[in-house]
């Protein structure tokens, strides 16, 4: 069906408005980061009267941004790797084998997504404190404890997504590998996983982003040494002043790893979003 002139212009107008809606906040962030603090606190202007990059220098000394960045990268990466690794084995078992309790396991995994995260805050806090008291293993106010916390949220959803991806891969590939003498692990690593790369990448990105932008648990389960970026950015708001230009500059800088990673993995991520949609 050929597109009419009215439909073409209507599509252009809608796309233009959506682009403005998305890009305007980003433009305000960039211009605010390029303004002195006094200009940001004065009346709003669309362009800085005295462009400067001083905020990008001062943001590293106002708060220990480098430490927060390392903590976020470490916690998010380790949580994503562990989550996807465990989810691959669990999803492969659920997808390829029939065993007693399989349906109950699948429903239980999916039902964990129905509960709000704040419901687990106090129980996890008490568990970590008691473990530290009884064994000396410090999970509270540590990066290890934060990683374990994020696994409780990303792992169930990762399993559920990967089951759908694995189900979309023809079982005939498994049977052909078994004819050639391949065992379950060899079938998983040499047959199923190569075909499920887009799905695995999509799940990895999800697990990483879940940990990267989480605020609630990071604000309670960390101290100054283990704090992440999502919480550390609050340090630019002090009792006497709010360094808006540094907040904008820091927000732009900490977005670089996420944006760069997404651009590199974009083709896998887009393919993975629909990899398990059709069986």
DSSP per-residue string spanning 41-102: HSS--SS-SS---HHHHHHHHHS-HHHHHHHHHHHHHHHHHHHHHHHHHHHHHHHH---TTH
250 pLDDT above the threshold of 50: yes
| pLDDT for residue 279 | 44
Task: Lowest mean pLDDT of 82-91, 208-217, 264-273, name the range.
Answer: 264-273
State the pLDDT confidence band at 240, using cuts at 50, 70 and 90: confident
**What is the percent of the chain where pLDDT is above 90?**
26
Which residues pair with residue 237 across a beta bridge?
242
Domains and CATH numbers, the chain: 63-278 (1.10.3720.10)
275 pLDDT above the threshold of 70: no
| pLDDT for residue 277 | 44
State the pLDDT confidence band at 119, using cuts at 50, 70 and 90: confident
State the pLDDT confidence band at 276, using cuts at 50, 70 and 90: very low
Measure CA 23 to chain center. Answer: 21
211 pLDDT above the threshold of 60: yes
210 pLDDT above the threshold of 90: no
Rounded Cα gap, residues 51 and 246, in angstroms: 14
270 pLDDT above the threshold of 60: no
How far apart are the two ends of the chain, measured CA to CA in Å?
29
| Alpha helices in the chain, H assignment, sequence order | 5-33, 37-41, 54-62, 65-96, 102-111, 121-135, 143-167, 171-179, 184-187, 193-195, 197-212, 216-220, 229-232, 244-264, 266-273
Quick one: average pLDDT of 205-233? 88
208 pLDDT above the threshold of 70: yes
| pLDDT for residue 199 | 85
| pLDDT for residue 267 | 67
| pLDDT for residue 120 | 86
Identify the sign of the CA torsion 206, 207, 212, 214.
positive
Identify the sign of the CA torsion 210, 212, 214, 218.
positive
pTM above 0.75, yes or no: yes
26 pLDDT above the threshold of 70: yes
Quick one: average pLDDT of 148-159? 89
Quick one: average pLDDT of 208-230? 89
Instruction: Provide the mean pLDDT of the chain.
Output: 85
User: Is the Cβ–Cβ distance between 163 and 95 less than 8 Å?
Assistant: yes
């Amino acid at each position: 069906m050929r597109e009419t002139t009215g439909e073409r212009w209507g599509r252009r107008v809608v796309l233009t408005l959506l682009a403005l809606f998305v890009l305007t906040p980003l433009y305000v962030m960039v211009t605010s980061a390029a303004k002195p603090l006094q200009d940001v606190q004065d009346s709003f202007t669309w362009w800085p009267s005295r462009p400067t990059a001083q905020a990008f220098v001062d943001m590293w000394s106002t708060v220990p941004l480098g430490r927060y960045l390392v903590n976020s990268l470490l916690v998010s990466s380790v949580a994503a790797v562990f989550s996807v690794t465990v989810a691959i084995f669990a999803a492969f078992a659920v997808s390829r084998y029939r065993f007693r309790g399989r349906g109950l396991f699948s429903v239980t995994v999916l039902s964990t997504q129905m509960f709000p995260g704040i419901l687990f805050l106090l129980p996890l806090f008490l568990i970590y404190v008691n473990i530290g008291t009884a064994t000396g293993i410090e999970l509270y106010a540590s990066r290890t404890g934060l990683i374990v916390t994020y696994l409780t949220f990303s792992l169930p959803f990762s399993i559920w997504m990967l089951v759908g991806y694995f189900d979309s891969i023809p079982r005939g590939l498994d049977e052909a590998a078994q004819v050639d003498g391949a065992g379950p692990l060899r079938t998983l690593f040499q047959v199923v996983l190569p075909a499920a790369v887009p799905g695995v990448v999509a799940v990895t990105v999800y697990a990483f982003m879940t940990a990267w932008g989480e605020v609630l648990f990071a604000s309670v389960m960390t101290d100054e040494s283990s704090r992440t970026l999502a919480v550390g950015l609050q340090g630019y708001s002090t009792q006497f002043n709010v360094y808006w230009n540094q907040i904008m500059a820091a927000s732009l800088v900490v977005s670089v790893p996420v944006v760069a990673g997404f651009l590199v993995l974009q083709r896998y991520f887009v393919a993975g979003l629909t990899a398990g949609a059709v069986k």
